[in-house]
Amino acid sequence: MSGEIARTFAQAKARGEGVLVTYAMAGDPDLPRSVDVFAALVEGGADVLEIGVAFSDPIADGPVIQGAAERALKAGSTLKRVLDEVVPAVRKRCPQTPLVIMTYVNLIMAMGEARYAKLARERGVSGTILPDLPPEESASLRATFDAEGMDLIPLCAPTTPPARAQAIAKDGRGFVYCVSVSGVTGMRAELPPDLSQRLDLVRKAATVPVVAGFGISTAEQARMLSAHADGVVVGSALVRAAHTEGLEAAKALCADIKRGLRR
């Protein structure tokens, strides 16, 4: 696990808090102003920033994040520009906050595994999440990332069989991202009744922290999950708040959810 991510989880645990991982789209509404969004989330209490990189076929994303991706692409967002322009600016404004890239494997392959890993790490990226990369096909990329000191963060889906989920957790890097609900990203009024049981199973096998994401949008949901996970990921609710209501609304929502993670 990269030093930045490990330190952040350890510090939160020492404070008796769950870790809040927040997602926003680099380049939404444009590249410079997306930096303001990330900074506002940290001001609101985000512990880890998940930096989305727009892709033309975002199979894991619901309508809110798809809309953000469309705005980012229209604004000229590319993986290279995010690494060259957005990540260094966020790193400067949020020097203690781990940065994790969330994108799709085609973009990494197009840039080149080794080139991406080196450039991302040089810019200050601690980890990468690739929701369309099957664990069975991840060994080469994980080794490349390991060599650069960057984490390839794995996902466990609701449909992942228990034995496979345990194997993913045992070989995890950074943290294990447990997907809360089937389908795409987006706010949910209710989370699955078996989610806490799935989280407990993964957490027992994991050698790194475990977080829950997809569908989480309220402090009460975060509070409920904090007994079974080391943190939560919140994306669509914050993206929508920033886009429709502004930075202060996103910051306030972030702060409210963070309060739910204080045990």
Tell me which H or E stretch contains 232: strand 231-234
50 given a catalytic annotation: yes
61 given a catalytic annotation: yes
Q: Among 28, 47, 61, 85, which one carries the catalytic annotation?
A: 61
Side chain identity at residue 64, one-letter code: V
Q: Among 4, 17, 47, 50, which one carries the catalytic annotation?
A: 50
Contact 168, 205 (CB under 8 A): no
Contact 223, 231 (CB under 8 A): no
Report the alpha-carbon distance of residue 50 to residue 200 in Å, rounded: 24
Report the alpha-carbon distance of residue 37 to residue 174 in Å, rounded: 24
Report the alpha-carbon distance of residue 198 to residue 176 in Å, rounded: 12
Phi/psi-derived region of residue 246, left when phi > 0, alpha when psi is between -120 and 50, beta in every other case: left
In this structure, the strands spanning 19-25 and 151-153 are: unpaired
Report the alpha-carbon distance of residue 260 to residue 263 in Å, rounded: 8
Report the alpha-carbon distance of residue 231 to residue 46 in Å, rounded: 11
> Where are the extended beta strands (E) located within the chain?
19-25, 48-52, 99-102, 125-129, 151-153, 155-156, 176-179, 210-213, 231-234
Which residues carry out catalysis? Answer: 50, 61
